[in-house]
Amino acid sequence: MLIDTYGRVATDLRVSLTDRCNLRCTYCMPEEGLQWLAKPDLLTDDEIVRLIRIAVTDLGVTEVRFTGGEPLLRPGIVGIVERCAALEPRPRMSLTTNGIGLKRTATALKAAGLDRVNVSLDTLRPDVFKTLTRRDRHQDVLDGMAAARDAGLTPVKVNAVLMPGLNADEAPDLLAWAIDEGYELRFIEQMPLDAQHGWKRDGMITAGDILESLRTRFTLTAEGADERGSAPAERWVVDGGPHTVGVIASVTRPFCRACDRTRLTADGQVRTCLFATEETDLRAALRSDAPDETVAELWKKAMWGKKAGSGLDDPSFLQPDRPMSAIGG
């Protein structure tokens, strides 16, 4: 069991398959991209599956989310999913993606055992998408989402980040569109995880701003804490139901007390929090032929030291040196 000193138990594992991405979102990385991890530094497919097996069979993990970077850039992703689906007990498996590669992979991922997907889409306007991502791939994302829905990777959840001066006015339109398409929409506050370290609290669109905008067109009724559990999104029932909308307010309404996540980077480091400044190296243990029991003990020790919160409200807070693309979402 992955338990910390505050009694929280981590059952949800986020696994970054690569730090690479085929978009250049302004809130994530610079236009020229980043210095990617060298291939020898990345976990191999076998190493990823081994760590997931240890997490599932020895440490009580029940959910696995594949992330990146852009996880669909990982050549062996379908095989990784298939091998993890064969584990006993079988974990629930999902994928967070920008959607560009879903049209060609959705059917294979479903057949391999993937349960559902989260797709990042911040705007319905192709021109704004191009400005935000520095790539002209808006239709590819829409096509990928439709392919995921048709393949049965449902519910398809849409993650949207609103930025001042770009798409801040789109919340009601995004929700109306998601309802029409049968997707579940979640807005995410912009977090201080950009490679440029340009994030500023006073320049972000907050959960309060988002809800105020949505209420200009919809009636929202809070679901309540019992329904939320350890989920990062607060959810509201839209116009009496059955549709809902979520808001992940990592900055203004942190949910650290209910956190049940542990994170594995593409180069084999355990992170106890998105905003952690410390990591525990599991890759070195794997490559020194350490037995599963040793790897599990390292992981448990790392989680035991998890801090009470993200530290975002502390005046001395410093962004992690590694950006979101390296950490995994």
Q: Is 65 annotated as a binding residue?
A: yes
Kind and range of the H or E run holding 147: helix 138-151
Q: Is 110 annotated as a binding residue?
A: no
Q: Is 256 annotated as a binding residue?
A: yes
Q: Which long-range contacts (CB under 8 A, 24 or more apart) does 135-142 make?
A: 135/22, 135/23, 135/24, 137/22, 137/23, 137/100, 140/99, 140/100, 140/103, 141/98, 141/99, 141/100, 142/99
In one letter, which amino acid is 4? D
CB atoms within 10 A of CB 107: 16
**Cβ neighbours for 270, distance < 8 A, ≥ 6 positions apart:** 262, 263, 264, 279, 280, 282, 298, 299, 302, 303
Q: Is 84 annotated as a binding residue?
A: no
Q: Is 131 annotated as a binding residue?
A: no
Q: Report how far residue 325's alpha carbon sits from residue 328's, in angstroms, rounded to the nearest whole number.
A: 6
Q: Does a cis peptide bond (omega within 30 degrees of 0) precede residue 30?
A: no
Q: Is 324 annotated as a binding residue?
A: no
Q: Is 157 annotated as a binding residue?
A: yes
> If we measure between CA atoms, which residue out of 189, 271, 173, 272 comes closest to residue 232?
189
Q: Is 113 helix (H, G, I), strand (E, B) or coil?
A: coil
> If we measure between CA atoms, which residue out of 259, 253, 156, 257 comes closest to residue 211?
253
Q: Is 217 annotated as a binding residue?
A: no
For the chain, how far is it from start to end, CA to CA, in angstroms? 22
Q: Is 1 annotated as a binding residue?
A: no
Q: Is 204 annotated as a binding residue?
A: no
Q: Is 6 annotated as a binding residue?
A: no
Q: Is 96 annotated as a binding residue?
A: yes
Q: Is 213 annotated as a binding residue?
A: no
Q: Report how far residue 258's alpha carbon sits from residue 310's, in angstroms, rounded to the nearest whole number.
A: 12
Strands (E), 124-166: 157-160
Strands (E), the chain: 12-16, 63-67, 92-97, 116-120, 157-160, 184-188, 220-222, 234-238, 244-248, 261-264, 269-271, 280-281
Instruction: Give the residue numbers of the binding site.
Output: 14, 21, 25, 27-28, 65, 69, 96, 120, 157, 191, 256, 259, 261-263, 273
Instruction: Give the residue numbers of the binding site for [4Fe-4S] cluster.
Output: 21, 25, 28, 256, 259, 273
Instruction: Give the residue numbers of the binding site for GTP.
Output: 14, 65, 96, 157, 261-263
Instruction: Give the residue numbers of the binding site for S-adenosyl-L-methionine.
Output: 27, 69, 120, 191
